[in-house]
């Protein structure tokens, strides 16, 4: 057992008396490119992190779920698994466990619950998917303890809509990468139907994660800003499809497959107001960048991948309006100090950037970020938690302990 699992076992025994019997590990993720495309049915390219959430459990004879956390800012909570679970207050961490319980109880009857203790080293509200890791770990635990078998793509789809329970109308990227990631690889994820394709990360590429120290908490204004982007993208699609004489085209993939991108953007310029045009342009160009980025990674073209990342950031900043001063500053420092490209990662409004460097440049980039950004700011914790190199890791797993 590692120090961390021993610590978790001790915390479990203290809370519940007996030892835990099953352990789930669910990783955080960083999205390398393809931002705000998943809920538009367009591809993304994330990778799972070495940072993860661990959930140690013991099954219960009834349908109660009791959950506690080694981090005491998250208070213990409990609820009964069923097809209609009333949520805790918005922002309560227990809602992610409820989201998993409710979605599974709508598919499978008489599910038994569990007692659990959680430990996570995924930075919170940083755009690294700590909440999805909790939801996916809970789902995998319920399935395992109840001997329910479900295919990975089915679970990915089910959990993508399950997370809407917390009020964000997100896409399916985070749930898919959390369980579908392969070691040493990024993944291209396509939707409708969900498909996940691993792409090996070249051995000399390094992805540096740097937090803006601005919390991108989805329980407040950020949630509304996120949901308004999803509405704008849908509205823009409807107007453009109608202007092309195909109001029946209800998906971005539909309109993009029928019309060359340049013509599509020209039609959008005629049909949309300034804001909707910007949202539409981001979505369409970002999807094209994902395909070009996949090619660049497969061809070990560091410069091209970096350029696409930086273009993605500019599009997110100028057209999608989800960046902030701190994220922009971090990307500038990273690029000036030798990164081949950098961009905000996740929904934006705070959270992290991801910068791509060659192995020889990584120390220099990290030093520059430390000196020029973090040295003058209150970190609220260790530097290693806000500035680190991401290692492409494997997806979630359950084991008996
Ligand atoms: P973050 O904010 O990084 O967890 C959110 C969505 C993703 C995707 C990105 C933007 C959830 C759980 N996640 O990610 O599906 O839309 O924003 O690309 O809503």
> 287-298, pLDDT tens digit by residue?
999 999 999 999
Q: Region 181-196: what's the mean pLDDT?
A: 96
Cβ atoms of residues 160 and 249 within 8 Å:
no
Cβ atoms of residues 207 and 31 within 8 Å:
no
Which ligand 1 atom is at minimum distance from the Cα of 128? 3
Task: Output the residue whose Cα is nearest ligand 1's atom 11.
Answer: 170
pTM (2 d.p.): 0.96
Angstrom distance (rounded) from CA 37 to CA 279: 11
What is the tens place of the pLDDT at every residue in 21-47? 999 999 999 999 999 999 999 999 999
Confidence band of 147 (pLDDT split at 50, 70, 90): very high
C-alpha of residue 170 to centroid of ligand 1, in Å? 6
Task: Output the residue whose Cα is nearest ligand 1's atom 9.
Answer: 347
Angstrom distance (rounded) from CA 185 to CA 385: 22
For residue 92, give the nearest of 127, 60, 61, 67 by alpha carbon: 67
Cβ atoms of residues 379 and 232 within 8 Å:
no
Angstrom distance (rounded) from CA 218 to CA 90: 9
User: Domains in the chain, please, with CATH?
Assistant: 3-201+395-400 (3.30.230.10)
The pair of three-digit structure tokens given for residue 35, joined into one six-digit string: 């931002």
The pair of three-digit structure tokens given for residue 88, joined into one six-digit string: 């805790």
Please report how the helices 274-298 and 302-318 are oriented relative to each other, as an axis angle in degrees rounded to 10.
170
Task: Output the residue whose Cα is nearest ligand 1's atom 12.
Answer: 170
Encode 334-363 in three state secondary structure: HHHCCCCEEEEECCCCCCEEEEEEECCCHH
C-alpha of residue 173 to centroid of ligand 1, in Å? 7
Angstrom distance (rounded) from CA 80 to CA 105: 10
Burial (CB < 10 A; 0-12, 13-18, 19+), residue 245, is: exposed
Q: What is the pLDDT of residue 219?
A: 67
Q: Region 214-233: what's the mean pLDDT?
A: 88
Angstrom distance (rounded) from CA 111 to CA 105: 7
Angstrom distance (rounded) from CA 209 to CA 366: 9
As for ligand 1, residues whose beta carbon falls within 6 Å of it are 31, 35-36, 38-39, 127, 129, 132, 163, 168, 170-171, 173-174, 346-347
Q: What is the DSSP string of 42-111?
A: --BEEEEEEEEEEEEEEE-SSSEEEEEESSTTS--EEEE-SSSPPP-STT-THHHHHHHHHHHHHHSSS-
C-alpha of residue 65 to centroid of ligand 1, in Å? 26
Angstrom distance (rounded) from CA 45 to CA 173: 9
Which ligand 1 atom is at minimum distance from the Cα of 218? 2
For residue 184, give the nearest of 336, 50, 354 by alpha carbon: 50
What is the tens place of the pLDDT at every residue in 42-75? 999 999 999 999 999 999 999 999 999 999 999 9
Cβ atoms of residues 322 and 349 within 8 Å:
yes
- pLDDT above 70 for 267: yes
Burial (CB < 10 A; 0-12, 13-18, 19+), residue 300, is: middle
Q: Which residues are catalytic?
A: 174
Burial (CB < 10 A; 0-12, 13-18, 19+), residue 288, is: middle
Pairing of strands 185-190, 205-211: unpaired
Q: What is the pLDDT of residue 266?
A: 96
What is the tens place of the pLDDT at every residue in 343-364? 999 999 999 999 999 999 999 9
Angstrom distance (rounded) from CA 282 to CA 38: 13
Question: In this structure, what DSSP letter does residue 123 have?
Answer: P
- Output the average pLDDT for the chain: 96
């Amino acid at each position: 057992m590692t120090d961390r699992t021993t610590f978790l076992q001790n915390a479990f025994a203290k809370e519940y008396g007996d030892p835990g019997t099953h352990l789930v590990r669910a990783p955080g993720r960083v999205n390398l490119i393809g931002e705000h495309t998943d809920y538009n049915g367009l591809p993304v390219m994330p990778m799972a992190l070495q940072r993860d959430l661990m959930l140690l459990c013991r099954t219960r004879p009834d349908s109660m779920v009791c959950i506690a956390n080694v981090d005491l800012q998250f208070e213990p909570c409990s609820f009964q698994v069923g097809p209609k679970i009333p949520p805790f207050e918005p922002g309560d961490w227990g809602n992610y466990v409820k989201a998993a319980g409710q979605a599974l109880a709508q598919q499978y009857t008489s599910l038994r619950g569990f007692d659990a203790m959680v430990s996570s080293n995924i930075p919170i509200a940083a755009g690294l998917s700590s909440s999805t890791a909790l939801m996916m770990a809970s789902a995998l635990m319920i399935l395992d303890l109840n001997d329910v078998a479900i295919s990975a793509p089915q679970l990915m789809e089910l959990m993508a809509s399950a997370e809407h329970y917390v009020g964000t109308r997100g896409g399916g990227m985070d749930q898919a990468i959390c369980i579908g990631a392969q070691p040493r690889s990024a993944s291209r994820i396509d939707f409708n139907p969900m498909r996940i394709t691993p792409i090996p990360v070249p051995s000399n590429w390094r992805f540096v994660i740097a937090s803006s120290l601005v919390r991108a908490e989805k329980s407040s204004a950020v949630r509304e800003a996120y949901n308004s982007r999803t509405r704008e993208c849908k509205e823009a699609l409807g107007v453009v499809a109608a202007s092309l004489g195909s109001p029946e085209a209800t998906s971005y993939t539909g309109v993009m497959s029928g019309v060359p991108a340049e013509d599509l953007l020209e039609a959008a310029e005629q049909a949309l107001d300034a804001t909707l045009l910007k949202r539409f342009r981001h979505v369409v160009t970002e999807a094209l960048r994902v395909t070009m980025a996949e090619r660049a990674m497969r061809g070990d073209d560091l410069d091209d991948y970096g350029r696409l990342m930086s273009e993605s950031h500019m599009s997110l900043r100028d057209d999608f309006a989800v960046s902030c001063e701190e994220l922009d500053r971090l990307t500038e420092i990273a690029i000036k100090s030798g990164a081949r490209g950098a961009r905000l990662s996740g929904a934006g409004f705070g959270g992290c950037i991801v910068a791509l460097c060659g192995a020889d440049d990584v120390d220099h980039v990290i030093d520059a970020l430390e000196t020029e950004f973090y040295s003058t700011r209150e970190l609220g914790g260790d530097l290693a938690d806000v500035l680190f190199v991401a290692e492409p890791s494997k997806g979630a797993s359950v084991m008996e302990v």
